[in-house]
Chain A
Amino acid sequence: MEEPMPLADSSSMMRVAFVGKGGAGKSTIAGTFARLLARRGQPVLALDSDPMPGMPYALGVAVDDCPIPDDVVVSGGEGEPRWVLRSDLDAAAIVDRYAAEGPDGVRYLQFGNLWGHVVRLQKAQHAWSQVVAELDRDQWHLVGDLPGGTRQAMFGWARYADTVCLVVESTVKSMHTAARLLTLSQAKWGPSSLVLVVNKACDDSDAARICERLELPAAAVVPHDPEAGRGDRRGAAPLDAAPDGALAHAVDALVDRVVSLYSFGEEVAG
């Protein structure tokens, strides 16, 4: 697979989604990415489609469950989804009301956490999906975190993204899942660009092994960062636990790499 080419987009905002096997570090990198991008003075909306808590910890958002209430949707008409936003609400209003405020000015939108049966989240999921589809492309940079594995990604939950970051650690299982996720780029709705992020690298051979297996160059190599790991155990975001650590520096380089794919990249570059 060749190096991704800069996107010939007309938008002034990026739409990035992070995918990979569970435990690879998607939430950690996505949350850190969102905050570092926001620190460049950019408006960032962090999107979480994982019904389990993860991204809030990586962002350092005070609340980990801020569901979109069921009463924002009504039954859809013929040819519409099962549930649609009420006519008095639009995507901007939902973000304004229900996206939590996080550090560095990041806003955080999820449909809610799963506490019991999946059906309980159905209305909020429909609302979330409609909001993401209808958001003004020029208002927010979107940074999304998908649940681990292939299910959501293959079912089109990352279709809002024009760049997908595939997060991989140096285990056979993680590379196996990543190999399957590479096929996302072949989907009709697939991203314009798919970049590889090597995570928890202990040495140069880790990145080399992953790049060789996936036949893709690494856009970023994020080293194992013990201080960030200790912060993770007590629920601290990487940027708060290790603000000048190896993980923070590597993800900042990833932000540079991703913005360089866009025509407006120089304006956002660090």
Chain B
Amino acid sequence: MNDEATTVVADLEAGIGTLTRLDAAAVDATVVVVEPTLRSIDVARRAIAVADEQRQGRVVVVANKVSDDDDRARIDEAFEDRVLIVVPEDPAIDVADRLGLSPVDHEPQAPAVAALESLVDALGLASV
């Protein structure tokens, strides 16, 4: 694809299998989505290591479903040296999931949706 006006957003399979199969430097940025559970943090660390090793652009960590200070502390400790976007636990996302709707369509003002605006900023997409 050779279209500089188009941003491609790819959702990879869970885990790091697909990430390890990408050609080196295949993307401009890698967004690692993590929940504040130890097992999810474990997987995210592996994903970051692969992304760094394969030079998959800027790595941004999105901490999803963060519900309290303990969650936040766990995430901060694990990813203190990374660009971090925190998305709060948000019932609106659960409702959208159950209805099969995009959260942006279901409740555009939801806190989780608002938090993702800062992801767009972090990736430098707002100016495109």
Contact = CB atoms under 8 A, between A and B. Distances in A.
A147 B16 CA distance: 12
Given A118-B21, A235-B37, A235-B38, 4 more contacts: A52-B43, A52-B46, A147-B14, A234-B74
A51 interface: yes
A137 to B, nearest CB: 31
B97 interface: yes
B16 A234 contact: no
| Chain B interface main SS type | helix
Contact of B39 (A22, A51, A53, A148): A53
Interface band, chain A? 20 to 34
A171 B53 contact: no
A151 B15 CA distance: 13
A52 to B, nearest CB: 4
Interface band, chain B? 20 to 34
Interface in A218-270: 232-235
| Chain A interface main SS type | loop
Contact of A172 (B36, B71, B98): B98
Contact of A117 (B13, B20, B70, B97): B20
A173 B97 contact: yes
Nearest to A119: B20
B13 A149 contact: yes
